[in-house]
Amino acid sequence: MLYLLLGALGFPIFHLVDIAAIKRIAWAKPLSWISGCGLIASGAILACLSPDKFILPVWAVICGWILFTASMFQLLHSLFINLPFYKTYFKVGVSDELVTSGLYAVVRHPGVYGLGVALFSLVLVSQSRLMLDAALVWMAIDIVVVAIQDRFFFERMFCSYADYRKNTPMLVPNWRSLTRYATDITLKDLDTRRDVTMNKVADLFAQGKYDEVWQICCGFLDLSIADFMRIQNRLLLEQIGLLKRCELGQRVMDGANPETVEEFRDCVPLTTYADYAPYLLKRRMDVLPKKPLLWQYTSGKSGEYAYRWAPITARAFDEIEPLVFAMMILAAANKRGEVNFHKNDRVLYSMAPPPYATGTIVRAFPHELFTMLPPVAEAERMPFEERMKKGFDMALSEGLDMSICMSSVAVAIGQRFSRHAQEKSDMKSWLKKNPKALVRLAGGILKAKLNHRALMPRDLWKLKGLVTFGIDGEVFREKIKDMWGCYPLDFHGCTEAPVIAMQAWDHSGMTFVPHLNFLEFIPEKDALRSREDIAFKPRTFLMNELEPGNYELVITSLHGGPFIRYRLGHMVKILSRRNDNLNIDIPQMSFVARIDDQIDIAGFTRLGEKIIWRAIENSRLEYVDWVARKEMREKPILHLYVEMKGDDRNTPVEKIAESIHAELKLLDTPYAELESFIGLRPLMITLLPEGAFKTYELRQKAAGADLAHVKATHINPGEETISFLVDTSVSVKARTAAQNASV
Q: How far apart are CA 724 and CA 736, in angstroms?
A: 16
For the segment 512-532, the average pLDDT, to the nearest whole number, is 92
Question: Per the domain annotation, does 690 fall within a domain?
Answer: yes
**CA-to-CA dists, residue 713 to 546, 608, 629, 661, 717, angstroms:** 32, 13, 10, 21, 5
State yes or no: pLDDT of 741 exceeds 50: no
Residue 582's DSSP bridge partners are none
**Confidence band (pLDDT; 50, 70, 90) for 651?**
very high
pLDDT at 185: 62
Could you tell me the CATH number of the domain that includes residue 61? Answer: 1.20.120.1630
Which one-letter amino acid corresponds to residue 99? Answer: V
| pLDDT, tens only, 371-406 | 999 888 888 878 777 888 888 888 888 899 999 888
| Band of residue 735 on the pLDDT scale cut at 50, 70, 90 | very low
Cα separation, 352 vs 366, whole angstroms: 17
Q: What is the pLDDT of residue 711?
A: 86
Q: Bigger pLDDT: 214 or 632?
A: 214
What is the band of 195 on the pLDDT scale with cuts at 50, 70, 90? very low
- The rounded distance, in Å, linking the Cα atoms of 559 and 581 is 33
Element (H, E) at 592: strand 588-594
| pLDDT confidence tier of residue 734, bands split at 50, 70 and 90 | very low
pLDDT tens column, 451-495: 888 889 999 899 999 999 876 677 788 889 999 999 999 999 999
pLDDT average, residue stretch 280-304: 83
Is residue 713 a contact partner of residue 721, using CB atoms and an 8 Å limit?
Answer: yes
Point out the least confidently predicted range of 289-293, 597-601, 660-664. Answer: 597-601
- Report for 236-240, 408-412, 591-595, 735-739: range of highest mean pLDDT: 236-240
**What is the structure's pLDDT at 196?**
38
Return the pLDDT at 720.
85
If one counts the domains in the chain, the total is: 2
Peptide bond into 30 cis (omega under 30): no
Query: Given this model, what pLDDT does residue 405 score?
Result: 85
Looking at residues 628-634, what average pLDDT do you find?
A: 79
Looking at residue 739, what is its pLDDT? Answer: 45
Percent of the chain with pLDDT over 90: 41
- Note whether residue 456 is domain-resident: no
- Mean pLDDT taken over the chain: 85
Residue 69 lies in a domain: yes
Measured CA to CA, the distance from residue 372 to residue 41 in angstroms comes to: 45
Examine the fold and report which residue of 116, 150, 173 is the final residue of a domain before the chain moves on.
173
Whether residue 198 lies inside any domain: the answer is no
Q: How confident is the model at residue 338 (pLDDT cuts 50, 70, 90)?
A: very high
Note whether residue 31 is domain-resident.
yes
Is pLDDT of 638 > 50?
yes
Instruction: Return the percent helix, strand and coil in the chain, to nearest 5.
Output: 55, 15, 30
For position 194, what pLDDT does the model report? 40
Three-class SS string for 83-145? CCHHHHHCCCCCCCCCCCCHHHHCCCCCHHHHHHHHHHHHHHHHCEHHHHHHHHHHHHHHHHH
The single-letter code of the amino acid at 151 is R
Of 157-166, 183-192, 627-636, the poorest mean pLDDT is in 183-192
If pLDDT is split at 50, 70 and 90, which confidence band does 198 have?
very low
Q: Is 712 inside any structural domain?
A: yes
Question: Looking at the predicted structure, is the pLDDT value of residue 368 above 90?
Answer: no
Q: Decide which of 152, 173, 194 is a domain's last residue.
A: 173
**Does 365 score more than 90 pLDDT?**
no
The pTM score is 0.67
523 domain-assigned? no
pLDDT digits (tens, 9 = 90+) for 688-724: 999 999 999 999 888 887 776 788 889 888 788 889 9
Residue at a domain's end among 121, 138, 173: 173
Question: Kind and range of the H or E element at 4?
Answer: helix 2-14
Judge whether 697 lies within some domain: yes
Tell me which range, 29-38, 79-88, 232-241, 409-418, is most confidently predicted by mean pLDDT: 232-241
Domain limits for position 42: 2-173
